[in-house]
């Protein structure tokens, strides 16, 4: 691949959003699928903002009611302080040029609150629905790197041209960049120890993984210890301190109810095929059990939690904010 100039690819400072998590545990929410009631959805995220939830992360599944960037643009214009992110944008679903444009626009609308979570896609059926070929994992990983080069190059505002095996993009200069300083933080999703965690160390401000093959395969305490150790080694290779990358965890889904009986009734009313597919990535419990669950993950090294909430389960969001988060204040 060739580029007219090589933009700064490895973060050389700790992003303020990352640094803010050194001494405290933070929680974010991601609702799946995106609720079709737009006014209600916006009111709900405003409620999260008012109750101290750090971020709202939008899924990138275009068939699931709404495009993630449409949702984030609406929220950027309707909120003031909550972080807005993608969990996780697939680099194949839009050209990297369009992704750079949409990300910069949302960052500008929000006054510099975007977190860009990116990944290689994990849904062959979704690729097929969109009329796209689902490439082998190695190709997708290389495409992710090319997309990052293009994002950094376009966001520099300088004249830039890039030609790779997967993507091309160019600008004569003057691409309207994001406003966030020192840059939009990037999350790379996945737990692959040969490539993905090396990419995290080279390009990202945060990693994201969870207890499912589609979100990094971080099932056990041994898995987490090994993956975090591998990441530390890659960070050292790039001259970065361990604390320069935020370790985020994706709970898929989180289900909370006041009592065990209420929890059983709630889960019985949910789509059973979805719960079965989530497997070990699902956590269901009372507020006290949920506090214990996240304390255990904090002790294992996670600092930031993105709770996937199934659409319609507003109770879980309320209990997370009002009964669980105070234990970590």
Does residue 223 contact residue 217 with C-beta atoms inside 8 Å? yes
Instruction: Report the alpha-carbon distance of residue 111 to residue 103 in Å, rounded.
Output: 12
- pLDDT of 17 higher than 80: yes
- pLDDT of 3 higher than 80: no
| Residue 196 confidence (pLDDT) | 98
Q: In sequence order, which ranges of 86-171 are alpha helices (DSSP H)? A: 96-110, 124-129, 137-155
Instruction: Report the alpha-carbon distance of residue 74 to residue 72 in Å, rounded.
Output: 5
Enumerate residues 6+ apart whose C-beta is below 8 A from 222.
none
User: What does the pLDDT average to over 234-263?
Assistant: 98
For the chain, how far is it from start to end, CA to CA, in angstroms?
47
- pLDDT of 4 higher than 90: no
DSSP 295: H
Instruction: Kindly report, residue by residue over 37-96, the tens digit of the pLDDT.
Output: 999 999 999 999 999 999 999 999 998 889 999 999 999 999 999 999 999 999 999 999
Calculate the average pLDDT of the chain.
96
Instruction: Report the alpha-carbon distance of residue 302 to residue 305 in Å, rounded.
Output: 8
Instruction: Report the alpha-carbon distance of residue 40 to residue 278 in Å, rounded.
Output: 26
User: What does the pLDDT average to over 147-164?
Assistant: 95
Candidates 150, 155, 144; CA nearest to 107 is 155
Enumerate residues 6+ apart whose C-beta is below 8 A from 37.
none
Does residue 249 contact residue 306 with C-beta atoms inside 8 Å? yes
pTM of the predicted model as reported, rounded to 2 decimal places: 0.97
Instruction: Report the alpha-carbon distance of residue 203 to residue 216 in Å, rounded.
Output: 17
Q: What are the structure tokens assigned to 279, written together?
A: 């497997």
- Dihedral over alpha carbons 161, 163, 164, 168 (to 10 degrees): 80
- What proportion of the chain, given as a percentage, has pLDDT over 90? 95
User: What does the pLDDT average to over 307-321?
Assistant: 97
| Residue 33 confidence (pLDDT) | 94
Instruction: Kindly report, residue by residue over 85-130, the tens digit of the pLDDT.
Output: 999 999 999 999 999 999 999 999 999 999 999 999 999 999 999 9
Does residue 107 contact residue 113 with C-beta atoms inside 8 Å? yes
For the chain, domains (ranges, CATH) are 2-328 (3.20.20.30)
Instruction: Kindly report, residue by residue over 179-219, the tens digit of the pLDDT.
Output: 999 999 999 999 999 999 999 999 999 999 999 999 999 99
Q: How many CB atoms lie within 10 A of CB 100?
A: 25
| Residue 114 confidence (pLDDT) | 99
Q: Give the containing element (helix H, strand E) for 40.
A: helix 38-50
Instruction: Report the alpha-carbon distance of residue 88 to residue 275 in Å, rounded.
Output: 20
| Residue 81 confidence (pLDDT) | 98
- Band of residue 268 on the pLDDT scale cut at 50, 70, 90: very high
| Residue 30 confidence (pLDDT) | 98
- pLDDT of 1 higher than 90: no
| Residue 287 confidence (pLDDT) | 98
- pLDDT of 7 higher than 90: no
DSSP 93: S
Instruction: Report the alpha-carbon distance of residue 128 to residue 290 in Å, rounded.
Output: 37
Q: Which residue has the tokens 């840059």?
A: 183
- pLDDT of 6 higher than 80: no
| Residue 242 confidence (pLDDT) | 96
């Amino acid at each position: 691949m060739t580029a007219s100039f090589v933009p700064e690819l490895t973060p050389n400072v700790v992003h303020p959003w990352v640094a803010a998590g050194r001494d405290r545990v933070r929680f974010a929410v991601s609702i799946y699928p995106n609720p079709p009631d737009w006014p209600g959805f916006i009111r709900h995220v405003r409620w999260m903002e008012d109750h101290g939830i750090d971020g709202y992360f939008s899924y990138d599944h275009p068939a699931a009611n709404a495009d993630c960037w449409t949702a984030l643009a609406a929220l950027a214009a309707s909120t003031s302080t909550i972080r807005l992110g993608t969990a996780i944008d697939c680099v194949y679903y839009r050209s990297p040029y369009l992704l750079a444009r949409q990300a910069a626009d949302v960052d500008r609308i929000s006054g510099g609150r975007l977190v860009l979570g990116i990944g290689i896609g994990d849904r062959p059926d979704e690729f097929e629905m969109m009329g796209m070929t689902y490439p082998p994992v190695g190709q997708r990983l290389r495409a992710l790197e090319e997309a990052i080069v293009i994002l950094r190059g376009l966001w520099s505002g300088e004249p830039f041209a890039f030609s790779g095996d997967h993507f091309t993009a160019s600008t004569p200069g003057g691409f309207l960049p994001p406003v966030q300083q020192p840059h939009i933080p990037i999350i790379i999703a996945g737990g692959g120890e040969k490539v993905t965690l090396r990419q995290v160390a080279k390009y990202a401000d945060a990693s994201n993984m969870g207890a499912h093959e589609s979100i990094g395969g971080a099932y056990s305490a041994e898995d987490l210890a090994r993956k975090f150790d591998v990441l530390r080694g890659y960070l050292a290779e790039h001259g970065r301190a361990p604390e320069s990358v935020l370790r985020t965890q994706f709970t898929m889904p989180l289900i909370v109810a006041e009592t065990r009986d209420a929890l059983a009734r709630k889960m019985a009313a949910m789509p059973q095929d979805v719960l079965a597919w989530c497997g070990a990535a699902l956590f269901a419990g009372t507020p006290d059990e949920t506090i214990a669950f996240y304390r255990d993950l904090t002790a294992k090294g996670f600092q930031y939690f993105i709770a996937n909430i199934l659409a319609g389960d507003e109770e879980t969001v309320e209990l997370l904010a009002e009964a669980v988060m105070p234990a970590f204040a």
